[in-house]
Amino acid sequence: MFRWVEAAETALMRRLGLLEGWGSYPRRHVEADYLNVLVFEDEVEVRLRVEHVGGTSITYAWDIAKAGDVYVQGRHTVVHVDEPGRASPLPEGVRAALT
């Protein structure tokens, strides 16, 4: 599930022109609730939205649906970090594109 969500996040960043430098946003928190059983080769839809833009972080909420029904709900938070790996303010371009 998390790989599907990462692919959706990457697609969003690419669509917004923010993919360059995206490696400096490691995950800080990830959670998921599995509501129904998915099996191999189920066709699913990943719906990802920006839930909150903070000073140094972005929280996404998402769900994975099959035939219109939600099977997994979750959220994850990424934090913008500087070269040594310390939290640093989100670039203004990122903030503007996501708010």
How do residues 46-84 score in pLDDT, each as one tens digit?
999 999 999 999 999 999 999 999 999 999 999 999 999
Q: Domain 2-98: state its class.
A: alpha beta
The full set of domain ranges for the chain reads 2-98
Residue 8 has what pLDDT?
A: 96
Average pLDDT taken over every residue of the chain: 95
What are the φ/ψ torsions at residue 93 (nearest 5 degrees)? -60, -40
Looking at residue 20, what is its pLDDT?
82
